[in-house]
A and B are shown apart, each in its own frame.
Chain A
Amino acid sequence: MQDRELERELQELGSHIEYPPTPDLARAVRRSLDQEGTGQQTRSRRLWSSLPSLRWTAAATAFLLIVAVPALSPTMRATVAGWLEAGQTASSGQAARGSSPVESKGSTAEAPSDAGGEAMPSSGGRHLEEGLGFGERVTLREARSLAGAPVLVPRTEVLSEPDEVYAGGTRGADRVVLVYRSRPGLPPLEDAGIGLVLTERAGGVEETDVRPEFQRVEVGGERGYWAPAARDAGILGGGVLLWEQEGLALRLESNLSKEEAIRVAGSVR
């Protein structure tokens, strides 16, 4: 039996699958959201809605506090806590901007489609990181000036100058975030459009009792830690590589394989 013939049979089989009737989710979802809006939701729903965002609470809190932070040394815990703080700031910032999600996407919500391939209309001028709160958008040169420390950049065939640079933290540039768009050779992270995020902050990575989720790896001959992509875990759903270089703690998140991520990290200078 040829694979092509099997593919044809599978396509034909698909039209004979018996699915249960689709429930009226639209009405149920609206009812649930309306109840939230009038404060009639359950306690657990109220808890979820009071939290600023799904990704930054479920992902960051569950992963960083439960899995990652206890597994890391005090120095690293502080570093990771800083990354978590960035997410919380982001979420608060998003809420503070005031407009509800559907208000900002109103035209899309007004134009549903069964085709499934419709695109959200561009609001124009949005940055890759919008809603993630990496900090203030700056140029690479400004980041280097503000940080008063090296800002390291990957140098590979597909990565060099970042598409966007952000400076954040309590003193304005404690943390520098380089954002790269997805492209051939750089698959998108969960947040569509972003392919890789490199976060740099002063500090070091100490050896610790790393759990399986954060396995010990070598980056350019130095120690580092790798956690594979997990939709429920990573901040942007990607694999995370932590390492130390030139007095900085670096965090690289992407959907690259471990080997590819380490190769990118090894090119950073």
Chain B
Amino acid sequence: MAKGGNTAAYERLVRGHQAVAFRTAYLITGDRSEAEEAAQEAFIKAYRALGRHRSGAPFRPWLLAIVANEARNRRRAAARYAGLALRAAREDAQGDSYSPETATVAAERRAELLAALGDLREGDRLVIGCRYFLGLSEAETAATLGCAQGTVKSRLSRAIGRLRVRMVKNDAG
């Protein structure tokens, strides 16, 4: 099935999507090596299934559905979810016109937000991550989460509402 010329062409296709595939898998697994394995296996499975991909349909949502499936399978086997991390504050501050104090306050706020996000349930974290961190479209988010496109907006709205409640609680505490 895998002939040299075809796999060479597919290699170029993979290169165009490997970043979003890997980050999607990382968002779900929270683990670098699991994400790498999930994304790699997803590309291999996608290759085998390309013949059934509907002509004219966007490739990326279809691919991300496979990636997410692989990542979820590994996520279930993982001992714990490590969570996302922020880049070092001084790295972010470079090139900013803000004062060091302002940058520090902003970094603290981002850390609070990320911590509150980590307190949410997985479904809420994922829909927020897909839309705001990965910048996926609603269709791509739906494919990644395995839900109908129409439900992405409502899921996102509910997730943001719960995040807001969590942030208010944390502020009050």
Contact = CB atoms under 8 A, between A and B. Distances in A.
A37 B48 CA distance: 12
A182 B92 CA distance: 45
A11 B135 CA distance: 9
A22 B19 contact: yes
B164 interface: yes
Given A3-B157, A14-B133, A120-B55, A109 B10 contact: yes
A102 B85 CA distance: 38
B11 A30 contact: yes
A124 B56 CA distance: 9
Interface string A222-241: 00000001011000010000
A18 interface: yes
Given A104-B51, A112-B13, A25 B160 contact: no
A106 B69 contact: no
B161 interface: yes
Contacts, number: 225
A17 interface: yes
A11 B160 CA distance: 12
B12 A36 contact: no
Interface residues of B, number: 78
A202 to B, nearest CB: 28
Interface residues of A, number: 73
A159 B56 CA distance: 24
Nearest to B11: A30
Interface in B113-132: 113-114, 128, 132
Interface of A: 1, 3, 6-7, 9-14, 16-20, 22-30, 32-34, 36-37, 49, 53-55, 94, 99-106, 108-110, 112-114, 116-124, 126, 128, 130-132, 187-188, 190-193, 229, 231-232, 237, 255
7 contacts: A25-B15, A29-B44, A30-B7, A94-B51, A102-B47, A112-B15, A192-B53
Given A23-B36, A102-B9, A116-B140, 7 more contacts: A3-B161, A19-B26, A29-B47, A37-B3, A109-B9, A110-B9, A110-B12
